[in-house]
Chain A
């Protein structure tokens, strides 16, 4: 068996790839549902109903997709330049820390000033968190995969340290949690009395901005060139290391915004379970979107729907909600395989 690159990929094939990946994921998860002793189709029905079945469910799905759009964009931007940022989790928490430091009354400003301030500061914190690994990569050739992964554990311990020390909520009854952000630092809700907040709009705007940078600016072109072939890019006069560092700042900044948006928009304070792996799930979101920033919006909603739907299903059908994580992992792997077959054809000889 050998693989030969296709000269061109037909539109039908491009559409077939995500569909077949979805079918494979559904078959595998269907099997697991059957093993768990539940009826397959009604269980899937409960997942869909839990994710989209009511206004409440739909808004909950969009709320859950908000941090995933940010972390999905963070991965999409970095992976496009072949910068393997697996540390969005750490960058998210750094953004959240800065949000709590500035947003709990330290700087009493009106919300029109304070909200942009915490957004910018949070993005900056995320960007600086990735700057370290990026500089280690460009200066010393240290593989960023391991450094960003290890930073996730270091930053989570740092959060724990802050929550039991300087940022501990004096009214928190001893729980490791921070004080709540003040009203002027809270992102407004999109619909009165519901949980969906301004963060979702900001996430969508970020996706459009990243798309614009990718498609319409020199920097976007340079990122793609470096990702495609760093040596060729260097020969063409592109400052590869500088592009890497700028990419890292953009990617880390987006992940930092996820942290700000979760704290200031939804949770109100910082806890150790602010992110149930949004940083890692963002990688799946980005790959499902084939690193296209606009498609990230759709795939983030899809992944959020799986989690929200599976949570609801798990309460009534008794299938462990970890089925959502399995579904997400299987769809990542089947998607990369499906995409490979759109670019190569198999010849048996």
Chain B
């Protein structure tokens, strides 16, 4: 099989959709924050915290869905902290976000080491199992790639629709989009900018944490230190690539994941001729390239990173 034929194999696309799932959750999460005018660089740490919180809940005997819920709650709590620091207090969103990432990941690793002081191999849980959808999974190619995944992957795709619906079709979505463009206009309508922004950051952070939980509860069955490995930063690039639109962000995440799955297969094929590190670099390089191409016509939310103070112009 040559390099070109790999693109048309079902296994590639099954892997691509699986790799895309955590990115879809976290990209949606970052998108909601940025749509409300808040850059959330806490994403990397929040994913770490979510991956551990979900996994440890199940390890302690909880139900898988309870694990997802706990991860979301932990994410929302870090979101609340970020929101309070950058919205009413107006602190630098860059510095605070880095601080949240450092705090969330170090707290997670602290608790992990506390609960599991000396380990040779990480303890395992029974993760989400593939759930072929009756009927749909029988469709050739698509059925296997899209409709034989785990429940959490279906949730990722449903989340895209729900977030798009809320953002574009509901009053609350309009309020979120407007606080990211022109907060004073929202204030004039008698809506509290502060709470809309904090709420958006909390919801977004909850989604990021579920993205992290996907890694430990669906992709694999254990928690490792450094397992998020820059996925959060890639999601920030994906938001720009998707022009802050849920549908385009989904497309970006799937394309990115397909490329990632493809490089893994190329690596197996040409691993002896080209060092494997070159293949591992490709996703990060691709993210930077995507940013360069898209930044020229990027329609940033106009109030992104602009603190809002009532009555100030």
Contacts of B96 in A (CB 8 A): 333, 336
Cβ–Cβ contact A146 & B236, under 8 A? yes
Cβ–Cβ contact A325 & B291, under 8 A? no
Min CB–CB distance A120 → chain B (angstroms): 28
Q: Is residue A74 within 8 Å, beta carbon to beta carbon, of the partner chain?
A: no
CB within 8 Å of B: which of A77-104?
79, 84, 86
Q: Is residue B230 within 8 Å, beta carbon to beta carbon, of the partner chain?
A: yes
Cβ–Cβ contact B110 & A326, under 8 A? yes
For the complex, what is the distance from the CA of A2 to the CA of B192, rounded to whole Å? 13
Cβ–Cβ contact B106 & A322, under 8 A? yes
Contacts of B102 in A (CB 8 A): 280, 284, 325, 328-329, 332
Given contacts A3-B90, A158-B277, A161-B277, 6 further A-B contacts (CB under 8 A): A35-B114, A153-B229, A283-B95, A322-B113, A329-B102, A337-B89
Cβ–Cβ contact B99 & A336, under 8 A? yes
For the complex, what is the distance from the CA of A284 to the CA of B284, rounded to whole Å? 25
For the complex, what is the distance from the CA of A287 to the CA of B287, rounded to whole Å? 28
Chain A residue nearest to B39 in the complex (CB): A145
Residues of A within 8 A of B (CB): 1-3, 32, 35-36, 79, 84, 86, 136, 140-143, 145-147, 149-154, 157-158, 160-161, 164-165, 280, 283-284, 287, 318, 320, 322-323, 325-326, 328-330, 332-333, 336-337, 340
Cβ–Cβ contact A333 & B230, under 8 A? no
Min CB–CB distance B98 → chain A (angstroms): 6
Known A158-B277, A161-B275; judge A86-B98 contact (CB<8 A).
yes
Most-contacted residue by chain B among A140, A150, A157 (CB, 10 A)? A150
Cβ–Cβ contact B237 & A150, under 8 A? yes
Cβ–Cβ contact B106 & A154, under 8 A? no
Cβ–Cβ contact B103 & A145, under 8 A? no
Cβ–Cβ contact B99 & A333, under 8 A? yes
For the complex, what is the distance from the CA of A164 to the CA of B287, rounded to whole Å? 25
Contacts of B298 in A (CB 8 A): 141
Cβ–Cβ contact B277 & A160, under 8 A? yes
How does the 8 Å CB contact mask read for B280-313 relative to A, with 1 for contact and 0 for none?
A: 1100110110011001101000000000011100
Residues of B within 8 A of A (CB): 41, 85, 88-92, 94-96, 98-100, 102-103, 105-107, 109-110, 113-114, 117, 229-230, 233-234, 236-237, 240, 275, 277-278, 280-281, 284-285, 287-288, 291-292, 295-296, 298, 309-311
Cβ–Cβ contact A3 & B309, under 8 A? yes
Cβ–Cβ contact A332 & B95, under 8 A? yes
Contacts of B310 in A (CB 8 A): 2
For the complex, what is the distance from the CA of A141 to the CA of B310, rounded to whole Å? 30
Min CB–CB distance B295 → chain A (angstroms): 5
Contacts of B106 in A (CB 8 A): 322, 325-326, 328-329
Known A161-B275, A336-B95; judge A153-B295 contact (CB<8 A).
no
Chain B residue nearest to A333 in the complex (CB): B99
Cβ–Cβ contact B103 & A330, under 8 A? yes
Cβ–Cβ contact A154 & B113, under 8 A? no
Cβ–Cβ contact B288 & A325, under 8 A? no
Cβ–Cβ contact B295 & A142, under 8 A? yes
Chain B residue nearest to A136 in the complex (CB): B292
Contacts of A320 in B (CB 8 A): 109-110, 113-114, 117
Return the contact of B90 from the options A322, A333, A340 (Cβ within 8 A): A340
For the complex, what is the distance from the CA of A146 to the CA of B229, rounded to whole Å? 14
For the complex, what is the distance from the CA of A140 to the CA of B296, rounded to whole Å? 6
Chain A residue nearest to B108 in the complex (CB): A322
Return the contact of B103 from the options A142, A164, A326 (Cβ within 8 A): A326
Mostly, the B contact residues are: helix
Min CB–CB distance B308 → chain A (angstroms): 11
Contacts of B229 in A (CB 8 A): 153
Cβ–Cβ contact A340 & B277, under 8 A? no
Chain B residue nearest to A331 in the complex (CB): B99
Known A140-B296, A149-B233, A150-B233; judge A157-B277 contact (CB<8 A).
yes
Contacts of A340 in B (CB 8 A): 89-91
Min CB–CB distance A12 → chain B (angstroms): 21
Return the contact of B230 from the options A79, A143, A145, A150 (Cβ within 8 A): A150
For the complex, what is the distance from the CA of A289 to the CA of B164, rounded to whole Å? 43
Return the contact of B99 from the options A1, A142, A150, A332 (Cβ within 8 A): A332
Known A2-B311, A158-B281; judge A333-B41 contact (CB<8 A).
no
Min CB–CB distance A25 → chain B (angstroms): 11
Contacts of B240 in A (CB 8 A): 143, 146
Contacts of B277 in A (CB 8 A): 157-158, 160-161, 164
Chain A residue nearest to B115 in the complex (CB): A320
Contacts of B285 in A (CB 8 A): 154
Return the contact of B278 from the options A86, A146, A149, A161 (Cβ within 8 A): A161
Q: Closest 10 CB pairs between A and B? A: A325-B106, A320-B113, A329-B102, A329-B103, A161-B277, A322-B110, A157-B277, A333-B99, A149-B233, A322-B109
For the complex, what is the distance from the CA of A36 to the CA of B110, rounded to whole Å? 10
Min CB–CB distance B309 → chain A (angstroms): 7
Return the contact of B295 from the options A141, A152, A164 (Cβ within 8 A): A141
Contacts of B90 in A (CB 8 A): 3, 340
Contacts of A143 in B (CB 8 A): 240, 291, 295
Chain A residue nearest to B312 in the complex (CB): A2
Min CB–CB distance A167 → chain B (angstroms): 12
Min CB–CB distance A322 → chain B (angstroms): 4
For the complex, what is the distance from the CA of A152 to the CA of B229, rounded to whole Å? 11
For the complex, what is the distance from the CA of A84 to the CA of B236, rounded to whole Å? 15
22 contacts across the A-B interface (CB closer than 8 A): A1-B88, A2-B309, A32-B110, A136-B292, A141-B298, A143-B291, A150-B237, A150-B288, A153-B229, A153-B230, A153-B284, A158-B281, A165-B275, A280-B102, A283-B98, A284-B102, A287-B95, A320-B113, A322-B110, A326-B103, A336-B96, A340-B90
Chain A residue nearest to B310 in the complex (CB): A2
Min CB–CB distance B296 → chain A (angstroms): 6
Contacts of A2 in B (CB 8 A): 309-311
